[in-house]
Amino acid sequence: MELAVFYAFAALTLGSALLVVSLKNTARALFLFFVVLFGMAGLFIFALADFVAITQIMVYVGGVLILMIFAFMLSNKELLADLQNTSSKFLSLPNWQSLLLCIGFLSVMTYGIIEWQENTPKWITENIRHENILKSSDNNINQLGIKFMTQYLLPFEVISIFLLAALIGAAHLSRKEDPN
Amino acid sequence: MITLTHFLLVSTCLFCIGLYAIIAKRNAIMILVGIEFIINASILNLVAFSRYDKVNYGGQVFALFAIVLAAAAVAVGLAIILNVYRKYKTINPDNITDLRD
């Protein structure tokens, strides 16, 4: 039952991701990107990472996607004409070279995963044997907060400075140039 | 309980869709979306492995870091795209061939 729901979410995510890459209309593709991100958040919950799922929705849907739609509307004057365009070509044909490359890569990685299954890393089998894995009754967010403020304090600070620098850089880049 | 293999398979598929978007798309914004797909696939892997690591929570912590990095990358990338559009009046990477003006 759990697996069926998991694969329903996976099918939702992968199906809309395929539509995103095959739609001709960029506006529609960007709004479908919403669906992909929500589906990914659902998949995170299956791995018992509820905080990561909420962060995914807040950061991606609230930040990244809005930015992308802004950039799209600022860089495409034919948006409205594009939206009303009812041409017969709804999907763009995939060009076969990139399709071939991707399917080849997919088969190689799938083969790798199947091979990898036989010799799982030792720490995973150890932790499964000692019942030392996350359970749905655990208080994950609490533990995560403690870890952030103790064990992972330095990476946390570094990422904060990095985010500040990146946002200042982005604001500087997108500023209007002086007329002279 | 869902084993690791299912997560790995789903994230592999998402990775390949992102790869296709990067190679085949003719629009810089869609290429950024492809990069987001790839980052999301890696986050799914981190989170799936983190389930077996109750002591350190390494996977979930670094999944959060990866989300922050992706947000920063998108902010800078979109600023660059807007600047390029102002100069070239197009965001098709095939038409942007000069490194200097």
Identify the closest residue of chain B to A94 by CA–CA distance: B24
Examine residue A125 and state whether it is found in any structural domain, yes or no: no
HSE-up of residue B60 (Cα within 13 Å, Cβ side)? 29
Q: What is the pLDDT of residues A4-56, one digit of tens each?
A: 999 999 999 999 999 998 888 888 888 899 899 999 999 999 988 899 999 99
Examine residue A59 and state whether it is found in any structural domain, yes or no: yes
HSE-up of residue B51 (Cα within 13 Å, Cβ side)? 24
**Co-location of A69 and A152 in the same domain:** no
Contact B51 A48 (CB under 8 A): yes
Gap between the Cα atoms of A157 and A152, Å rounded: 9
Tokens of B89: 């009046």
**Co-location of A13 and A68 in the same domain:** yes
Contact A133 B51 (CB under 8 A): yes
Question: Which ipTM did the prediction report?
Answer: 0.89
The answer to whether residues B32 and A67 touch, using CB atoms and an 8 Å cutoff, is no
Top-tier CATH class for B4-95: mainly alpha
Q: The pTM is what? A: 0.89
**Co-location of A91 and A145 in the same domain:** no
Please report the number of interchain residue pairs, chain A to chain B, with beta-carbon separation below 8 angstroms: 212
The answer to whether residues A179 and B88 touch, using CB atoms and an 8 Å cutoff, is no
Contact B29 A102 (CB under 8 A): no
Q: What is the pLDDT of residues A131-180, one digit of tens each?
A: 888 888 888 889 899 999 999 999 999 999 999 999 999 888 888 776 65
Gap between the Cα atoms of A156 and B62, Å rounded: 10
Pick B10's closest partner by Cβ from A14, A101, A138. A14
Q: What domain range includes position A83?
A: 1-97
